[in-house]
Chain A
Amino acid sequence: MSEYKALIGLEMHCEISETNTKVFSSAENSYKDTANVNIQPVDMGFPGTLPVVNKEAVKMALKASMILGCTLPTHIYFERKNYYYPDLPKGYQITQETKPAPVGSYGALTYDCKGETKTVRINNIHLEEDAASSDHYGTFSTIDYNRAGVPLLELVTEPDFRSADEAVSFLETMRSIYQYAGISEADSRKGQVRCDVNVSIMEADKDENDPKNWGTKIEVKNVNSFGGVREAINYEIERQIDLKESGKYDEMEQQTRRWDEDTMSTIFMRSKVDAIDYKYFVEPNIPKFKLSEEWLESIRKEIPELASDRKHKYITIFGLSEYDATVIVKEKSISDFYEDVVALGADAKKAANWLTSVILGYLNKNDLTITEIYLTPKMLYEIMNLVESGKISSKQSKDILTHVLEDKKDPIQLVKELGMEQISDDKTIREIVIKVLDEHPDLIEDHRKGKNTFDFFVGQVMKATRGKANPSLTADIIREEIDKR
């Protein structure tokens, strides 16, 4: 690789999941396990049906465009991309592929990749409709039109990534933006995120700003997970380097390949000369409409705090480590949970510690999301308070949390049920301490000689109280009683 560098560009398709209805149809926009239930006649291309633009989808697309710093169009209009496929019932897709139609042109996004700040130029972001989904079996195929007409944002980057790591870090950042801005769940498991990857290689010491030095561009379609993007890029880079080294690179024509999950390789689909002519033209059924400054301003105001804003806040105001802040903002639902706990009055650092050290581990282990567990921000706050006020020990608090998660019970109730209320009464503890010291005069001597017998005394008190004695109070009393002797 050192002899070569890769130029990588992405086309990221992300379904907008947060509108009530589809982008040009009044059918419900939601993920359904049952096929063909979210359908209106227009979604199946019945004769005479017409598209009606969903303003909410346009709004979300404009929001994404603003976040990416893109130039906004003066008018919104759409065009048709014409091709035949059974999952495309109208025989064309309504999109905004060619300029100047897209909701956003020429923006940029900075993102972190392994601690380094990188910038990628955005060529454009546009709003379009998704196709139906088809499944192919031996002798027949099935089509599910639930997905037909679901709003889709296609984001096209310039070839600014130099590695699979950069491309994947960018995708993770975009996913977070879509989640934070309330545009999409961006869940690849639901097929909401799909990518096409463009990869070419060139000699490492040449100037990448001069197109003459660029290699042959290979497009890889149909990459449906971030892991797949990483694998596909690395596979392509290696494949292209192999061709260079075996002297066959110059024979390679510009082409489209597809990523095959089963063989973990890219497979030739078509060469550039066989590229489909999509015969774009402006969709005549949707009148061009002018974007008003007022509307754009109101959309701009709706852009919420994004992951990068929150991360900055967590580090500079809450005093979290870069690592903890990064971990917490990664998923919006976790960051929202954290924000709620802090808003209730919890100590920001301690709350972060709870999340990163205990709760996230539990979620990962059980493959759950934070919204799926019984624990609420209020419960975590209560557990933290119980420790803070000395009612339970920190060790006990971990047990309480486990019980909350597994038994689905409230922490305060659990403390009572489990008899965990900590003994913080001076008189009770002092009586036990005196009894323990009386039983071990030799160990008091050892302590005075510098041997560590102190922990033994604490342990004995804990044993006698079945762990309920307030540990710091116990330590104070032991010290006092030893000094008295």
Chain B
Amino acid sequence: MEYMSKSITELHELLQNGKVTSEELVNEAIKKAKEAKDKYNAFVTVIEDAKGCEVTDSLLSGIPYGIKDNYSTKDILSTGSSNTLKDYIPFFDATAVINLKKAGAVGIGKTTMDEFGMGGTGTTAHTGNILNPWNTERMCAGSSSGSAAAVAAGVVPYATGTDTGDSIRKPAAYCGIVGYKPTYGMISRYGVFPFASSLDHLGVLARNVEDACIVVDAMKGLDKNDMTSWDSSGIELHKSLTTDVKGKKICYIKEICDKSMYPDASDELLEHLDNFRNTLEYFKELGVDVVEESVDKNLLDAQYSVYNVISCAEATSNMSNLTGIVFGPRAIGDNYIDMMKKYRTEGFSSLIKRRFVIGSYVLQAENKERYFNNAQRVRRLIVDKWKSLYEKYDAVVLPVSSGPAKYLDNSKNKPYQNSHILEEHLQIANFGGFPSITIPNGFVNNLPVGINITGNCYDDVNVLSLACALESKMSYKNQIAKEAK
């Protein structure tokens, strides 16, 4: 009997009825994690000495899970998938990890990611490419690639993620699972390696919406160590979840979803957009009012540059602590400058170095007004536009990416015109700190594709309920990657 493909609520019931022990679940997850490490590079570290624990009323108690490798875990290697921290063992747990421990969750492995979360392909980890369990020629997207692969492959029922642009929600779509990042500050960021602090969110990858709610209920909470965290004790996501969404109003954006925007679209893209339209019909069946909205194309076209400028600028500064002086494998040099230079030159992948150069450039005194300050202004314009949509609608619903998972061999991927906004619009939820969830909504070319639902700040329950209702109309809930079976 295999258990790791079951949902959290199913496992909890089995545990409480004594049908299975926590120890058995943990052992199964460790065994599968080792396989997924070899097969997909889904794990940096498998926590082989993880032990089962007491089963309580907490739904997560005794159940194994995966932890993205940019979460600090006390006494357990935490590399952020970077050579610069390849030997780094934190002496404290991230607040979210502490909270999950309190709920009885058992971490069984650290999942592989794009280096420090700064990538969307799962190809920049210091341990190599992360492969998609549906088709190992394809990528998982990133940066929570290992978490997505592990959950999709049925190693664990859920894994934690981080999301600065789309790093939870895009891998979830590519791997046919659920990816949810709650409102900014609902989960403390303390102890999680930063990428771009004003955009960084924590969240979860799971195989159904209910599980995602249960996990975030345990992770969230006001933290005295994170001034941007807020008191959400009045919000109970799981308890408030409902599939009764009749009378709610959602919109989609014509400039992003309409086939006419992509004159040279591939069959995959066209199929993906058609599939999205079909999914909207389910909403209508649920009694949800679906409206097409229009947003200034100039604003949408600026979005990706805004993200690049802000995220690179913050990242450059956030990662200035990585010098090898206090922690990390210190480089040998004649003086501190040589030591720092050598450590950083040898430690970081070229993608990250490229972003540091961009980040430094846009912050330089002579460029700051033109790039950084303007990016902040446009960020505000985009957020204001979305806030105005939320005055009329409960959520904005959009397709994720331009189709299913791309090939790892980039020469096999066909670029289209104008596809930037389709690839990158999930970042808008990071600009505004909006709650945002991706769920699977079908297959294109035998590969899963996803749909995203994003709502206003603090309106997580509404977003989750819409997702849960939609999920109930489709047959992709709890799916496990086929090739992995």
The chain A residues found within 8 Å of chain B, CB to CB, are: 41, 44-53, 80, 82, 84-86, 89-92, 141, 143, 277, 279-281, 284-287
Contacts and interface: CB of A to CB of B under 8 A. Distances in A.
A224 to B, nearest CB: 22
A53 B225 CA distance: 10
B474 interface: no
A49 B227 contact: no
Contact of A89 (B88, B189, B227, B321): B321
A49 B323 contact: no
B475 interface: no
26 contacts: A45-B326, A46-B72, A46-B92, A47-B321, A48-B90, A50-B225, A50-B226, A52-B225, A84-B340, A89-B321, A89-B325, A90-B321, A91-B317, A91-B319, A91-B321, A92-B317, A92-B320, A277-B365, A279-B316, A279-B364, A281-B314, A284-B196, A285-B197, A286-B227, A287-B227, A287-B228
B80 interface: yes
State the 4 A-B residue pairs at the shortest beta-carbon distance, nearest first: A91-B320, A279-B363, A45-B321, A284-B198
A84 B323 contact: yes
A51 B313 CA distance: 19
Nearest to B82: A47
B336 A86 contact: yes
Contact of B88 (A47, A90, A91, A279): A47
A48 B91 CA distance: 12
B360 A279 contact: yes
B190 interface: yes
A51 B317 contact: no
A52 B80 contact: no
A80 B191 contact: no
Given A82-B317, A284-B197, A47 B323 contact: no
A48 B189 contact: yes
A82 B318 CA distance: 10
A48 B197 CA distance: 10
A280 B225 CA distance: 24
Interface residues of B, number: 46
A101 to B, nearest CB: 15
Contacts of B78: 47
A281 B359 CA distance: 12
A281 B311 CA distance: 13
A86 B323 CA distance: 8
A91 B320 CA distance: 5
A51 B197 CA distance: 12
A49 B317 contact: no
A287 B226 CA distance: 10
Which of B70, B320, B372 has the most chain A CB within a 10 Å cutoff?
Answer: B320
A281 B372 CA distance: 9
A79 to B, nearest CB: 10
A81 to B, nearest CB: 10
B322 to A, nearest CB: 8
Interface in B261-312: none
Interface string B73-117: 000001010000100101110100000000000000000000000
Nearest to A25: B225
B407 interface: no
Contacts of B405: none
B206 to A, nearest CB: 23
Interface string B323-357: 10111000000001100100000000000000000
B72 A48 contact: yes
B228 A285 contact: yes
A281 B317 contact: yes
Contacts of A46: 72, 90, 92, 321, 326-327
Nearest to B88: A47
Given A49-B190, A285-B228, A82 B72 contact: no
A45 B193 CA distance: 11
Given A80-B317, A287-B227, A48 B336 contact: no
B80 A91 contact: no
B237 interface: no
A51 B226 CA distance: 7
A18 to B, nearest CB: 22
A48 B194 CA distance: 6
A53 B226 CA distance: 10
A63 to B, nearest CB: 22
Given A84-B320, A279-B364, A48 B190 contact: yes
B189 A52 contact: no
Contacts of A280: 363
B228 A47 contact: no
Given A279-B363, A287-B228, A89 B326 contact: yes
Nearest to B193: A47
A44 B326 contact: yes
A53 B94 contact: no
Contacts of B70: 48
Contact of A277 (B88, B192, B196, B364): B364
A8 B337 CA distance: 34
B224 interface: yes
Which of B78, B326, B327 has the most chain A CB within a 10 Å cutoff?
Answer: B326
A147 to B, nearest CB: 15
Contact of B189 (A50, A277, A286): A50
Contacts of A45: 321, 326
B317 to A, nearest CB: 5
A53 B227 contact: yes
Contact of B227 (A50, A84, A277): A50
Nearest to B344: A84
A199 B316 CA distance: 35
A286 B90 CA distance: 24
Given A46-B326, A47-B88, A50-B227, A279 B72 contact: no
B332 to A, nearest CB: 13
Contact of A48 (B193, B360, B372): B193
Given A84-B340, A92-B317, A286-B227, A48 B94 contact: yes
A82 B363 contact: yes
Given A48-B90, A86-B323, A90-B320, 17 more contacts: A44-B327, A47-B85, A47-B90, A48-B190, A48-B192, A80-B317, A82-B320, A84-B340, A90-B321, A91-B321, A92-B320, A143-B325, A277-B364, A277-B365, A279-B317, A279-B363, A279-B364
Given A86-B336, A286-B227, A287-B227, A50 B190 contact: yes
